[in-house]
Structure formats: structure tokens, C-alpha cells
């Protein structure tokens, strides 16, 4: 072999991919490598290593020496000349699109080396990949993981979209209480008394607004006739629009007249055969305070005075008037007693009665068969007084259970009071007229809330807020010393529409609670899927 042939034998040339078919010719086509001898393949499968050959070669038929000498640098010079030396000291020469190693030593080649063998010798060595079975398993696992992740993402999206929102933070506003002093009343300098108002009575004051003097039972005088009239009507009520039953008086009633006159009690004329309606008979009982009519009516309603007294005791217990004792029908007996607070309660029951309240407001009445009867209450029509009943005995003194209809702070108010133990009725009337203005001055309007008053607020985690407020102003009319306190209950909520109910505020005035509805000023809306998806901890805990 000549020098040119020897040099050509030492050069392995790689065509870098001429794309056109020109110049390739038959010699330029890549040929399938000739099959190796069967023994060579067997030895390769058994992993035997031929002497002088490296075991690293992974391809059958490639040159391990060429594989170990691959040049790291991939750049190819287009002009001829040396490109440098590789790690084994071989000279890399290039010309055009070719590169070749010249190690100065003839590379061992076989006559049947094909271009594929040449490619295997000069291409970079590829790391051995996983076996096909492992690749299939890996692909299956990877696909399964992808399905799981996609499914998990979809499940979380569905969960986030339907999960309950966190409850908004509720903050109760501080509402300070208030206290005012009690008024000073112009009580008389004698006896004892009490004052109340329908719907205003203070449980801590024994059911009245205020009182003075003794709180023990005292003789009532003819104020006891209030009990007589109420107990009779409880047993024999008068239907609306009627005057009640017709009553025919007998000689026994004439005897009651004689007895009462002998006792120095107040009386009204009666005769055997006199017929009066129940309403007319009650008018004679209450206006001139006729003792004989109290006994006649009690016996007519219950059959006997004793039966009446038993019924009266039962009725008093039912009304809670446990410190009132009646021993006769008229109150002439000093043993018929009551407390001033019980007497105020009796007055409130009477002014609520549709039959008796109009009767006691009459200054006089013309009763057929009896004549004109005058009301013993000379205070009627003065200072707003429109009732109720006088009482006069040596033991009780001059007494008056009275009622007053007035207007306070624009609201109608009915006062009920009693004063016992006066020396004369004119003195009593004068002192009551002095007392009334001081009582009326004790009323005051207590604001429970103003319109739009803030009692609390809500703030959501996504930054929206609403105020809990009262939709309208509320106030209450009260009397005397005032102590207020407020408690607020805000409903737990996640979202709320403007104007929707959100709780209650309870304002207590002297222990009486007043509930105020609270509504939302502003709205808290669902933040939407974007916030839900980005806040899993807040939604799912």
C-alpha cells in the first residue's frame, strides 16, 4: 500500500450531511453493514472482551479507540488545516465539511467497515438509556400521576367553588349606659300616700312610682267601695251596650238604709219596690258613696254579706292584693285596711274597667227614683283629676284615691295616686294639686336609639364590610331615676345584603328590656372563584 493509500487508511472521514444526491454516487451511499460472523455476536452477547479492545463500547461493530478519542469541541472549521489535538494527542484536521483524526498510527479497520461503523466511531457516545420495559413503566406512572393531579385540581376547584365562606368578623360597638336622679316630689306633710302611672309602675317600688309615709296597711274608709264594685262586676258583669240586670229593692234594703244612717254613714234614698238597672245602682254606690247601697248590692250579687266577703278575699288574692283586708262592704269598719300601694293598684284596675271608669268621672247624676246624686270628689275637673273615690272615717281621716289623665312629652299618661290621713277634704284637695306638677315633672323621654345608630360592624377576610345599625329612632317615656344598659347580639354571617337583618340590640331602662332590630348598612358579597381558589387555608381550614 502506498503513502497516499496508507494515509487514507489512517483517516476516517465523516460526511456532515450533504443534502443533495449529487456527488454521492454509488460509493457515497450508506451501506448496511455486513453481518458479522455468528461467533462474534455470540461472544458479544456473552460479554467477552477481545484482547486489546475496551469493554466500554456499547455498539456492536464500533471502534472503541475512536469512541474514546471523541473531541469535546463540536465546532468544525471550514478551511483545511489542523484543528488541534484531542485528549489522546491525536491531531484533528478539517477540510470543508469534514473532520479527521490523525494519530500517526494506522487505525485498525476491517475491509467491510461501513459508513455506520464510521458514524459509531466518531459520534459522541450516548449514555445508555433505560431498558424499554422501564420506559413503559415510567410512562404509565407519569401518566397516572398526571391524571391524579388533574383530578385533584378539578376536585379542589369543585370544593373551593362550593365550600362555605369563613364567617365575617363581628365587632360590637361600645354603648355606655346612663343614669339620672329621681325627682323630688311635693308630698303632703301628713299621712301617707303613693303615686303610680298606668304602664309605668316600678316593681322595685312595690308597684308604684313613688310613695311616702307608712307602707303598712291603714284604714281605707270608703275607698273599700272600689273593691265592692269590682267584685260585684266580676260576678255579675255588664255586657257592652247594656246597663246590666234590673234590680228590685225590698224592705230589707230599706233596713240597710236605716242601719247605715244610725252608724253615721253616708246614705242614699231607697224604697221597697224601687227598680234600678245595675249601672244605676252602681252610680248611687260610687258618687254619693252610699253605705246602704254597698250592702244591698253585695247581698243581691252573692246572697249574703258573708258570701260577698269570702268572694272578696278570693278576688283580692287573685289580683295579688295580699295586704288588703275587707271586713265589711263599705269600709266604715276600721278593720278594713290596705296599703297605699295596694290602693293605687285598685285604682288602676278601676280606671281600666269600662263600666266604672265613666261613672266615677261624673260630678253628679240624676237617678230615677233616687234623684240627683253628687260626687263626693270635689277635685274632679281640677288639675286633670277625673276620679276615683273618697274615703272618710275617724280612723282613716280624709282620703282620696284619684286618677289624672294628662299628656307628658306628647304622650297620654294616666296617673293614679292616693293620699290618706288628711284632716279635711279641702286641705287634701289643695295638697294633691300641689303634688301633681312635681309628679309630671318626673317624666322624661329616654332615647333608646337614633336613626342609623351604629351598634356593631362586620368585616370579611376579603376586605368587604357592613355596619349593624338601627333603621329608625326609638325612645321610651319613663319616670323618675333612670338607669340604662345595652347588650348587642350580632348574628354570625358570611355574606349579607344591604338592609338585611343582622341581630338585635337590647336596651334596658330601669330593668325593662326593649329590643331593637339591627340591619346591615352596606353589603358583603361572595368574593368569587378567584379568591376561593387562592385561599384554600381560609376555606378548608
Look up residue 265 and give its three cell numbers: 254613714
Q: Please compute the mean of the pLDDT values over residues 7-16 and round it to a whole number.
A: 39
pLDDT at residue 207, rounded to an integer: 76
Among residues of the chain, what percentage have pLDDT more than 90? 62
Query: Please, which pLDDT band fits residue 432 given cuts at 50, 70 and 90?
Result: very high
pLDDT at residue 87, rounded to an integer: 44
Q: Please compute the mean of the pLDDT values over residues 381-397 and round it to a whole number.
A: 97
- pLDDT tens for each residue of 401-414: 999 999 988 899 99
The single residue listed with the C-alpha cell 460472523 is 37
Look up residue 166 and give its three cell numbers: 369563613
| Cα dihedral 32, 36, 41, 42 sign | positive
pLDDT at residue 137, rounded to an integer: 61
Q: Please compute the mean of the pLDDT values over residues 189-214 and round it to a whole number.
A: 86
Question: Which residue would you say has higher pLDDT here, 48 or 293?
Answer: 293
Strand residue runs (E) in 411-453: 411-422, 443-449
Q: Please compute the mean of the pLDDT values over residues 91-117 and round it to a whole number.
A: 47
Residue from 407, 299, 414, 284 nearest 348 by CA:
414
- pLDDT tens for each residue of 272-283: 999 999 999 999
pLDDT at residue 100, rounded to an integer: 44
pLDDT at residue 508, rounded to an integer: 95
Between 60-74, 180-194, 327-341, 417-431, the lowest mean confidence (pLDDT) is in 60-74
Burial group, residue 323, by CB count within 10 angstroms (0-12, 13-18, 19+)? middle
- pLDDT tens for each residue of 204-213: 566 799 999 9
The single residue listed with the C-alpha cell 231607697 is 270
pLDDT at residue 415, rounded to an integer: 97
Burial group, residue 27, by CB count within 10 angstroms (0-12, 13-18, 19+)? exposed
Amino acid at each position: 500500500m502506498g503513502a497516499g493509500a496508507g494515509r487514507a487508511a489512517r483517516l476516517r472521514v465523516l460526511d456532515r450531511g450533504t443534502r443533495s444526491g449529487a456527488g454521492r454516487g454509488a460509493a457515497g451511499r450508506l451501506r448496511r453493514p455486513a453481518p458479522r460472523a455468528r461467533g462474534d455476536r455470540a461472544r458479544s452477547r456473552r460479554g467477552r472482551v477481545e484482547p486489546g479492545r475496551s469493554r466500554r463500547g456499547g455498539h456492536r461493530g464500533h471502534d472503541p479507540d475512536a469512541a474514546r478519542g471523541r473531541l469535546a469541541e463540536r465546532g468544525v472549521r471550514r478551511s483545511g488545516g489542523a484543528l488541534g489535538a484531542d485528549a489522546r494527542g491525536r491531531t484533528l484536521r478539517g477540510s470543508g465539511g469534514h473532520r479527521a483524526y490523525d494519530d500517526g498510527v494506522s487505525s485498525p479497520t476491517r475491509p467491510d467497515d461501513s459508513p455506520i461503523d464510521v458514524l459509531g466511531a466518531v459520534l459522541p457516545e450516548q449514555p445508555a438509556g433505560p431498558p424499554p420495559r422501564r420506559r413503559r413503566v415510567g410512562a404509565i406512572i407519569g401518566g397516572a400521576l398526571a391524571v391524579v393531579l388533574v383530578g385533584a385540581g378539578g376536585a379542589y376547584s369543585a370544593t373551593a367553588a362550593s365550600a362555605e365562606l369563613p364567617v365575617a368578623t363581628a365587632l360590637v360597638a361600645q354603648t355606655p349606659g346612663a343614669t339620672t336622679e329621681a325627682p323630688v316630689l311635693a308630698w303632703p306633710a301628713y299621712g301617707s300616700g303613693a303615686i303610680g302611672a298606668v304602664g309605668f309602675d316600678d316593681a322595685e317600688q312595690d308597684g308604684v312610682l313613688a310613695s311616702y309615709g307608712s307602707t303598712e296597711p291603714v284604714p281605707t274608709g270608703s275607698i273599700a267601695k272600689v273593691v265592692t264594685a269590682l267584685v260585684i262586676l266580676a260576678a255579675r258583669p255588664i255586657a257592652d251596650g247594656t246597663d246590666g240586670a234590673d234590680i228590685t229593692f225590698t224592705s230589707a234594703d230599706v233596713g240597710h238604709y236605716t242601719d247605715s244612717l244610725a252608724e253615721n254613714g253616708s246614705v242614699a234614698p231607697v224604697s221597697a219596690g224601687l227598680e234600678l238597672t245595675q249601672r244605676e245602682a252602681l252610680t248611687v254606690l260610687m258618687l254619693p258613696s252610699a253605705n246602704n247601697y254597698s250592702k244591698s248590692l253585695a247581698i243581691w250579687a252573692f246572697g249574703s254579706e258573708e258570701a260577698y266577703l269570702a268572694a272578696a278575699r278570693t278576688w283580692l288574692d287573685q289580683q295579688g292584693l295580699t295586704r288588703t283586708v275587707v271586713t265589711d262592704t263599705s269600709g266604715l269598719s276600721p278593720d278594713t285596711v290596705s296599703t297605699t300601694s295596694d290602693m293605687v293598684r285598685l285604682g288602676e284596675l278601676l280606671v281600666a274597667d269600662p263600666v266604672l271608669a265613666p261613672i266615677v268621672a261624673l260630678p253628679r247624676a240624676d237617678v230615677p227614683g233616687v234623684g240627683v246624686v253628687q260626687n263626693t270628689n270635689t277635685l274632679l275637673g281640677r288639675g286633670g283629676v277625673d276620679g276615683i273615690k273618697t274615703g272618710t272615717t275617724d280612723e282613716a281621716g280624709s282620703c282620696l284615691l284619684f286618677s289624672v289623665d294628662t299628656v307628658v312629652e306628647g304622650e297620654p299618661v294616666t296617673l293614679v295616686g292616693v293620699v290618706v290621713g288628711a284632716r279635711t277634704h279641702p286641705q287634701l284637695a289643695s295638697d294633691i294639686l300641689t303634688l301633681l306638677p312635681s309628679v309630671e315633672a318626673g317624666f322624661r323621654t329616654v332615647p333608646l336609639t337614633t336613626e342609623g345608630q351604629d351598634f356593631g360592624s362586620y368585616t370579611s377576610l376579603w376586605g368587604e364590610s357592613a355596619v349593624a345599625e338601627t333603621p329608625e329612632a326609638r325612645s321610651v317615656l319613663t319616670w323618675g331615676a333612670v338607669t340604662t344598659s345595652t347588650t348587642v347580639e350580632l348574628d354570625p354571617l358570611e355574606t349579607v345584603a344591604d338592609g338585611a337583618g343582622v341581630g338585635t340590640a337590647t336596651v334596658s331602662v330601669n330593668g325593662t328590656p326593649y329590643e331593637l332590630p339591627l340591619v346591615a348598612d352596606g353589603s358583603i358579597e361572595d368574593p368569587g372563584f378567584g379568591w376561593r381558589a387562592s385561599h384554600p387555608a381560609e376555606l378548608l381550614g
